[in-house]
Structure 1
């Protein structure tokens, strides 16, 4: 078993990575929690594939698990769905001494974490991410959120789990599209981490190679993200580098209205933002092509005609990462050298049209 420790001022927890971990999850949870009720929150696509394993293991370890299902997809990350889950927890007599486990992808993790952090002012929480995207990104770092009609993740909390349990065998249940989607976040972290991580990326020449190197990619990703979270738990400074490609990506994803998966939108965002900063001579010539080649090897998109519309700019203006009238964009001086570049919100159109006067 691989383990990565996340040490924060108020909490320390483990990210554990091992094939077959779902079958022994009860033992892992029992090492942390006393017997209690556990709300296992999952979705209707994931639960038929692995919920029985988790429930059986939890029961064998002396817990009382209750399975709660939501519809698969981003629409479940809403205050309405959260409210329905609160009602179910109340109906089943959950108290502050009980716990919540998220079993699923990023949507379930964000939603379950939000419910855990707010129900009765906080229940113990564990993440069991089942998608590659969740295993390498959203399950690590303590961000929870639901969406509003005006944007993604606009209502949320920072709430660290007691454990993140990653079982790479769950990736076998993913379609190629959603396996590849998660790889976009891995590539993002490799691009902003030290060059040794990028050397793993250079081994990935087709979608099947993602599975071949899954454990290595997951370990490198969570090790890097844990390091950043430890340095900046609540995104006051360094953690903003993890938003490389995300400001544009979130705006594109919202406009696509479900036609683009999160990782697909981030792939486009990374390439198009790098292309822009390359044109401004802040990123080196050839970096855009380097990213494009790596992403296209696994079939990820790198272009979108949604960029540049008025709605695109409005979505960016409503991005939750805006601070003091500025949007902090992240570009690369080179692989492993991310830089935060602030742009005034009232100058977005000028900047993205390539007409801005750049301070180097």
Structure 2
């Protein structure tokens, strides 16, 4: 591909349980990228970890009638540069012949979950001096692992939910007394997953073992958290030349008999949830929510973008739930919707992220 325009490689799919969500995110982004400003190369990662050429047509990555998109197997393999002296990405055919794909200027890694959002892809790109959108290795890893995320946020003086960690191989019986001390209700979740994968709400002790088993399907490390009763508020943070800024707050209100914002409510049953962007918060609470989001962003060393989720109790107490360093990014996802409430359109948001990443230095910074 020869052009005076910079080339962006949109990287999506991946090996995590959030593979399909990543593909849907890519569909939204591929539709909104300004093709007059950027040459676009789509690279999919199959569920077994193979990098393949993919369609850059957004229509191929939409959720249709409840069917989730996935990166299909391919006889060809995409090869990133071998070292920091190269820029050309290549395609290796089944017969072993390699051909040029593009000279890539910046990567937009729309990967969710382990093997992508957790610092692994970021580390691979750092090794070959490729600029990319999003946080670096450390912030990505901390944001992905909820156990270490809480350690960092607590050290920064931010309030987080009380929890008990079940390390790999540890049964709930080994920490039954600690878990019972949290009280009811509880949330049980994989320590390193997103999109509400493997999360269960536990209202009776008899449900605990099944909830842990559901979480273990996604991660050998499990987090048992005390439920916080309150409003679920989200804030989008965007890094810019003057530093990170916070969007107007959004709110998730679940209905349709759902007890929390689970996977189906997020992606398959829009009628089950009311996404309010912006939402109304008391005058003394709104600035504290924005401040907490910015402090969480800075505490983990995030870059480019993040979504920070908090709970606001009736008495105004704010508790940080999590920071997501690569939030869902379809046009209807909370992150772009919150910025739309501030007057920043979806295409403008993508342009800001790409130009910011292109201007960012490679290596230590």
Normalising by structure 2, report the TM-score.
Answer: 0.28
Give the structure with the higher percent helix: 1
Relative contact order: is structure 1 or structure 2 higher (C-alpha 8 Å, sep ≥ 6)? 2
Compute the TM-score of the two structures, normalised by the length of structure 1.
0.28
